[in-house]
């Protein structure tokens, strides 16, 4: 056997051993608890969704799934933590639309969205709702726009942080309605809603899961939803396009990723589990009751969405004039 042939044989033996090891690892996975990082505070839409699907994942794989809330920096802190974990399938991250918005707002992120993560699956599509305090002297979107135009920079809108989907939904509203309202960022949607209840901000674009309890208790008034069609959960609330802001549409999405280098076998296993979970009648009913729509994908479809959404939101950020660090 000549030297070239020996090296070729050795290469294929080693390569085959690596593939076999990955296959064995994936077949035994998981054999210990899975950490499910949520880069937002407890009680928000991301947290509600992660706990719902995390519980089902735990039941299916017969291992604990521990939701680990790591809020801060508009989801940057928790996302950065996940990027630096070992790619062994025991740390996964729930990402929201801010995952693809932050690269356009923050020039020095501690991670690269397309390089440092392995997409697993989309899990939900979530419209937002425009909420105001009932004491606000506006009963419709048109009245709110008229009020804002009569009081430039005197009305504030809150969000769960710079670069979150509710923040950009508000910026899009400002642009299309031709009004000048001031953004007040908070460390989480619940804090923004608390100040809306207290009258310290006048409006909030909120993801449906976190907004529904306030709507049902009549603490806050929904003026419109951000989807292109009315929602089953709020059939009497118009879309923003119907209410006087033509062409308005802004829908948040959520997905699950792992750190880059995650073995293909583990990505496939987790994808199959999430697709199955999102097709369960009780999960569909639970998410629909909160105004969310289960929405799964293949890993490749999710990767493509991430790339196209980065381009889309970069244009929105540019047009909105949002400060970039």
> Can you tell me the distance from the alpha carbon of 258 to that of 252, in angstroms, rounded to the nearest whole number?
20
Where do the domains of the chain lie, and which CATH numbers do they carry? 8-23+31-126+251-320 (3.40.190.150), 127-243 (3.40.190.10)
84-90 average pLDDT score: 98
The dihedral through the CA atoms of 102, 253, 187, 110 has a sign that is negative
The answer to whether residues 87 and 267 touch, using CB atoms and an 8 Å cutoff, is: no
Q: Which of 201, 252, 202 is nearest to 226 (CA)?
A: 252
**pLDDT tens readout for residues 245-259:** 998 988 889 999 999
pTM above 0.85, yes or no: no
For residue 17, what pLDDT is reported?
46
**pLDDT tens readout for residues 128-139:** 999 999 989 999
Task: Quickly list DSSP for 110-153.
Answer: SS-TTTSEEEEEEEEEEEEEEEE-TTSS-SSHHHHHHHHHHSTT
When mean pLDDT is compared across 50-64, 156-170, 232-246, the lowest value belongs to: 156-170
Q: Which residues pair with 124 in a beta bridge?
A: 254, 294
């Amino acid at each position: 056997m000549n030297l070239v042939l020996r090296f070729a044989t050795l290469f294929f033996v080693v390569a085959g051993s690596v593939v076999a090891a990955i296959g064995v690892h994936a077949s035994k996975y998981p054999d210990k608890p899975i950490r499910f990082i949520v880069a937002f505070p407890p009680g928000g839409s991301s947290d509600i969704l992660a706990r719902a699907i995390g519980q089902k994942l735990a039941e299916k794989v017969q291992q604990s799934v521990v939701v680990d809330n790591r809020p801060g920096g508009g989801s940057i802190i928790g996302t950065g933590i996940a990027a630096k974990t070992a790619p062994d399938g025991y740390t996964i991250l729930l990402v929201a639309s801010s995952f693809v918005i932050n690269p356009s707002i923050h020039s020095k992120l501690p991670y690269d969205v397309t390089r440092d993560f392995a997409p697993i699956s989309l899990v939900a599509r979530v419209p937002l709702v425009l909420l105001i305090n009932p004491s606000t002297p506006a009963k419709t979107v048109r009245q709110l726009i008229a009020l804002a135009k009569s009081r430039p920079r005197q009305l504030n809108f809150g969000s769960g942080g710079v670069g979150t989907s509710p923040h950009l939904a508000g910026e899009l509203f400002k642009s299309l309605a031709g009004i000048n309202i001031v953004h007040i960022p908070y460390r989480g949607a619940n804090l923004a809603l608390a100040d809306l209840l207290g009258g310290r901000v006048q409006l909030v674009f909120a993801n449906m899961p976190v907004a529904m309890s306030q709507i049902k208790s009549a603490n806050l008034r929904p003026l419109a939803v951000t989807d292109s069609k009315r929602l089953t959960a709020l059939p009497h609330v118009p879309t923003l396009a119907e209410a006087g802001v033509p062409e308005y549409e802004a829908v948040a999405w959520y997905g699950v990723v792992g750190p880059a280098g995650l073995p293909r076998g583990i990505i496939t296993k987790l994808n199959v589990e999430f697709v199955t979970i999102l097709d369960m009648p009780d999960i569909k009913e639970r998410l629909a009751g909160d105004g969310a729509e289960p929405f799964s994908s293949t890993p490749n479809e999710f990767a493509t969405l991430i790339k196209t959404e980065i381009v889309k939101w970069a244009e929105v950020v540019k047009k909105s004039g949002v400060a970039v660090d």
